[in-house]
């Protein structure tokens, strides 16, 4: 029994390491292609590319770890069946249920790591991705403000005009020009500002922004009394109630993240506890549960007997892939139904209970067939 357990654990760990490395390389390649495309379009800065890659890998790790473990256990069980080692173990009194112990020995630590990622680390990573995208994206877009054109902001209440602009060494922070004009109008009158330097300031949380003008004059005109005044200033700051539309581009993917609560901490979701928050909690709990369920499910799926060894191995992986995709889709559907209020929160655990029962039933069926094969 000890030799059996050690050999199974060693083989699963070996396969898991290889599969995990392969999937990370594949994911990294796809991610880099997508991010480089966004860099070429000017949506993000090249300076934060490495930061976004690191945080994105962290958010993808729970799914990658789950798939890697599932494929590794499936490959281990399938190899034992193809090389007739499974029959030797069964004939010596080690049934398929004996596989659960070594598989859980490997799966439980990985499931705990996945739980830590989904419940704590991934939400923080999503939040950091949003902050970096919004903060640096805003400065990047500001560096591309069109010159010698009129730019509206604050729903048309303000107009900006930059003439003969010369950027300084930091392209995203300051413009120097012979003439920078800003017109601000409200119910009392209008103000016209002229300056030589212009900065667009936005805080790191992307919650507020403002224009900073230096070395200029302000001309105030009151419409009712026709009064006018001229003020000279070295530095003038005024807030923007609506960020420049050409500065901050709407990212549909970021909006989807915000709507699905991916970047909100689990503690905040529990306090909020609305229907969408409940759906997100179920999703975060479901991934570590799926890690254990798929690990157990790999035992009967890998022990399916086919007459042809090569085609049998391919069929095993195809069947396992199909069932795992159905399982993940059922989790997604349950989250959608919880979010829309169609089902209760605790109904989201039914799909995991159903798969656990199905796994044990399939193990019994596979064990019965193996025993018949041995007797035959």
Between the CA of residue 63 and those of 120, 126, 332, what are the distances in Å?
15, 15, 13
pLDDT at 28: 94
Average pLDDT over every residue of 48-53: 90
In which residue are the tokens 């004059």 written? 217
Residue scoring higher pLDDT (338 or 131): 338
pLDDT at 122 over 90: yes
How confident is the model at residue 256, as a pLDDT?
37
All structural domains of the chain with their residue ranges:
2-139+253-375, 146-240
- The more confident residue out of 272 and 157 is 272
**pLDDT score recorded for residue 47:** 81
Decide if pLDDT at 1 tops 80. Answer: no
Confidence band, pLDDT 50/70/90 cuts, at residue 164? low
pLDDT exceeds cutoff 60 at 369:
yes
Mean pLDDT value across residues 256-276: 76
What are phi and psi for residue 85, nearest 5 degrees? Answer: -70, -30
Residue 198, pLDDT above cutoff 50: yes
- DSSP letter for each residue of 70-118: HHHHHHHHHHHHHTTHHHHHHHTT--GGGGHHHHHHHHHHHHHHHHHII
Residue 314 vs residue 362, higher pLDDT: 362
- Mean local confidence (pLDDT), 13-17: 93
**Percent share of the chain, pLDDT over 70:** 72
Q: Which residues of 256-292 are buried (b: 16+ CB within 10 A; e: fewer)?
A: ebeebbbbbebeebeeeeeebbbbbbbbbbbbbbbbb
**Who has greater pLDDT, 171 or 310?**
310
Given a cut of 90, whether residue 151 has pLDDT beyond it is: no
Confidence of residue 155 (pLDDT cuts 50, 70, 90): low
Q: Report whether pLDDT(21) > 90.
A: yes
As beta bridge partners, residue 222 has 189
**Greater pLDDT, 144 or 69:** 69
């Amino acid at each position: 029994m000890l030799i059996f357990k050690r050999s199974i654990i060693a083989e699963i760990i070996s396969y898991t390491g290889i599969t995990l490395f392969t999937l990370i390389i594949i994911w990294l390649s796809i991610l880099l292609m997508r991010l480089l495309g966004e860099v070429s379009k000017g949506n993000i800065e090249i300076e934060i590319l490495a930061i976004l890659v690191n945080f994105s890998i962290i958010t993808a790790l729970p799914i990658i770890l789950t798939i890697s473990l599932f494929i590794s256990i499936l490959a281990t069980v399938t190899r034992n069946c193809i090389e007739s080692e499974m029959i030797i173990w069964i004939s010596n009194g080690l049934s398929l249920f004996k596989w659960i112990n070594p598989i859980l020995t490997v799966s439980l630590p990985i499931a705990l790591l996945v739980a830590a990622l989904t419940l704590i680390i991934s939400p923080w990573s999503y939040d950091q991705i949003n902050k970096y995208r919004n903060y640096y994206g805003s400065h990047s877009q500001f560096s591309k403000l069109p010159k010698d054109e009129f730019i509206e902001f604050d729903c048309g209440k303000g107009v900006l005009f930059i003439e003969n602009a010369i950027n300084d060494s930091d392209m995203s922070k300051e413009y120097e020009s012979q003439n920078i004009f800003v017109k601000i109008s409200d119910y009392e009158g209008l103000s016209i500002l002229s300056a030589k330097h212009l900065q667009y300031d936005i805080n790191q949380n992307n919650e507020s922004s403002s224009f900073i003008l230096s070395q200029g004059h302000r001309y105030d005109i009151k419409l009712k009394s026709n009064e006018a005044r001229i003020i000279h200033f070295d530095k003038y700051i005024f807030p923007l109630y609506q960020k420049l539309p050409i500065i901050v581009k709407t990212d549909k993917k970021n909006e989807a993240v915000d709507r699905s609560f991916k970047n909100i901490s689990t503690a905040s979701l529990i306090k909020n506890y609305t229907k969408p928050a409940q759906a997100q909690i179920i999703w975060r709990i479901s991934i570590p549960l799926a890690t254990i369920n798929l690990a157990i499910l790999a035992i009967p799926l890998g022990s399916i007997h086919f007459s042809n060894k090569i085609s049998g191995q391919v069929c095993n992986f195809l069947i396992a892939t199909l069932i795992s995709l159905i399982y993940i889709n059922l989790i997604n559907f349950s989250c959608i139904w919880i979010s829309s209020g169609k089902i209760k929160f605790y109904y989201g655990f039914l799909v995991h209970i159903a798969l656990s029962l199905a796994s044990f039933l399939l193990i019994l069926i596979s064990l019965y067939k193996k025993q018949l094969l041995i007797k035959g």
